[in-house]
Chain A
Amino acid sequence: MSVLEVKDLHVSVETEQGTKHILKGVNLSIKQGEIHAVMGPNGSGKSTLAYSIAGHPKYHVESGSVTLDGVEVLTMSVDARARAGIFLAMQYPVEIPGVRMADFLRTAKTVLDGEAPPLRPWLKEVSEAMKGLRMEKAFSERNVNEGFSGGEKKRHEILQLELLKPKFAILDETDSGLDVDALKIVSEGVNRAHAANDLGVLLITHYTRILRYIKPDFVHVFVDGRVAEEGGPELAERLENEGYDRFLDPASVA
């Protein structure tokens, strides 16, 4: 069974005001098939954690490690991490003009599998996955994320999750900006991927709302660049009632 382990991860980013330390010693261990919710207030470093695991060049790892089955991930290129089985559903998926979604999906599938998927079964799989996410067929003819609404972009991320079949998925605020119907549809997609591929999930969210549809095995409260408290699903209920105030340094609460 695969394990994704984050150990004492420290990450900074260069800003105009100088180096900013964001992650201050993160520890997490996710086994395949487990669902971990990471919950924290805005600005606590959740996206930084997601990007750092995926290898975004803006984020500088000061120390610590991220391993997949004992193999260091932090020294791998971004694409090698994806090929090793790590998937990041982005909070703000970027538009790529002129690249058709259908071509993009097939290109990604081909590099991940090491060979092109047989055309007919692939097209069928794509069209079924799109149906499951209530995406119209015409989307595959459109350019990647171009002119997509916020909700459509999120569905497209989950479509990729279902089609590309990673071992571990980091979902960065996939729930934000979705109305209830869209939230349900997207959650069902995540649950399908989880069930079908024994997916390990790192579900990053600000709100407890999505946890009604995706049931976490573990909840981590993320504050000021580190995990402040951990527990089971009951921890999410406490957050629902009490908010994050209890975890915040009184000095930093304006």
Chain B
Amino acid sequence: MSLLTPEQHGAKAHSDGGWDSNEGRVVPVQTRSGRFTSVNRDDFPEVTGLELEWKLTPVALVRTLIDGTLDGAPYEYTAADAAGATIGWVDRSDARVGRAGVPEERASANAWGAFQKALAITVTAEEHVDVIVSRSGLGAEPRAAHTIITAKPNSSATIILQSSGQATLSENVEIVVEDGASLTVVSVQEWADDALHLASHFATVGQNAKLKHVVVSLSGTVVRINPSVHLDGEGADGDLYGLYFADAGQHFEQRVYLHHVARNTKGRVNYKGALQGKGAHTVWVGDVLIGRDAAGTDSYEQNRNLVLSEGARADSIPNLEIETGEILGAGHASATGRFDDEQLFYLQARGISEEEARRLVVIGFLSEIVQRIGNTELETRLHKAIEKELERTAP
């Protein structure tokens, strides 16, 4: 693609991959799958902000989510009834809790320890069903939440998790895609301006099953969503998409981990972001691990950022680990840049003003992700939301 020219961030893109010299001596970082995990907050050391997984996050702003007491009571949500899908609160002791993953960091474990009930969404529909779950009344008090999404074998659904309003929230979302199921999960963050939100999404994808996971972050002060997706069944598919638009003073972060476990799995990671305004900061880390048994893997990850004004910063760090030689293909791309003059010229040469041309290019840039969601209503709404973002931050 010609839109972006690789830039400063590309050059240091791999510095987190192999070696870490935090403690003044060089130690090899263990493989991504070897990270410490626990459901107990206090099994994790205090967070100093220097750790690999925290060093790009404004830790001081989210300290209470990492260490503080969180209210884990059920909250209000709305969801329209849909045939073939059920939704409701279940106990901590429910067998589904912990099926898809275990926390890898302290804020995630803090939420795990605090939630009282988990919101369980279960899909049995073989005829594709769309479920929209909205929450807007979380309030400013620190909270914990837990969500379990289960797609039964051969079911097909799109689950849209829509968040708005105030929030100081740490949460875990577990996603289990059973054999032959096809599930789309879209997590849309349109929080109030002062919201703080840390989330870990854990997914396991079964044999010949398909997960499309989309993260859309448009507002909030700190929004950090870390999806870990394990392609555990042979022939599993994972499409991990994301789009974010950070304004002045906003920090949007996504640490994506795609683990090819079984044979013949296919993974596509594509995150795109726009940044505008002083202090807008985005972080994308893309860890792809192709495991020992994942022969026949086909994997590609990319992140592109469009920086629309001075004083904004996009960190983009792809890491690719390959433990088997017998893969179909694996690659990554990362680019951060400004407008492509050729695109602007093309539009202007058709009479379109420079301002309008810029608008079209930004919206088009992010639309590439929107167009992949596969829910027309949400796509239309997101287009409008992105246009509003642009107006809001226009210089």
Contacts and interface: CB of A to CB of B under 8 A. Distances in A.
Judge: A and B partners, yes or no.
Answer: yes
Interface of A: 54-58, 77-79, 81-83, 87-88, 90, 93-99, 104, 107-108, 111-112, 143-144, 160, 164
A97 B1 contact: yes
A166 to B, nearest CB: 9
B26 interface: no
Contacts of A111: 350-353, 356
A56 B346 contact: no
A77 B354 contact: yes
Given A55-B349, A95-B2, 11 more contacts: A58-B341, A78-B345, A79-B348, A82-B348, A93-B346, A94-B342, A95-B1, A99-B367, A104-B360, A111-B353, A160-B350
B346 A90 contact: yes
A98 B350 CA distance: 18
Interface in B332-377: 340-343, 345-354, 356-357, 360-361, 363-368, 370-371
Interface of B: 1-3, 340-343, 345-354, 356-357, 360-361, 363-368, 370-371
Contacts of A81: 349
A98 B348 contact: no
Contacts of A104: 347, 350, 360
Contacts of A93: 346
Interface of B is mostly: helix
A107 B356 contact: yes
Contacts of B368: 97-98
Contact of B346 (A77, A96, A98): A96
A132 B2 CA distance: 30
Most B C-beta atoms less than 10 A away, residue of A55, A58, A97, A104: A97
Contacts of B348: 55, 77-79, 82
A52 to B, nearest CB: 12
B364 A83 contact: no
Contact of B353 (A79, A88, A160): A79
Contact of B351 (A58, A79, A99): A79
A164 B350 CA distance: 8
A240 to B, nearest CB: 31
Nearest to B340: A94
Contacts of B360: 96, 99, 104, 107
Given A77-B354, A79-B354, A96 B347 contact: yes
Contact of A99 (B1, B354, B364): B364
30 contacts: A55-B349, A56-B345, A57-B345, A77-B348, A78-B345, A79-B351, A79-B352, A82-B348, A82-B349, A82-B351, A87-B349, A88-B349, A94-B2, A96-B343, A96-B364, A97-B1, A97-B3, A97-B364, A97-B365, A97-B367, A98-B367, A99-B363, A99-B367, A107-B352, A108-B350, A111-B352, A111-B353, A111-B356, A144-B346, A160-B350
A79 B354 CA distance: 8
Contact of B349 (A78, A97, A99, A107): A78
Contacts of A164: 350-351
Contacts of A55: 348-349
A77, A78, A99, A144 interface centre (most CB from chain B within 10 Å): A78
Contacts of A83: 351
A99 B340 CA distance: 14
A78 B340 CA distance: 15
B350 A82 contact: yes
Contacts of A108: 347, 350-352
Contact of B365 (A79, A98, A107): A98
A56 B349 CA distance: 9
Nearest to A89: B349
A88 B342 CA distance: 13
A91 to B, nearest CB: 12
A22 to B, nearest CB: 18
Contacts of B366: 98
A83 B347 CA distance: 12
A147 to B, nearest CB: 11
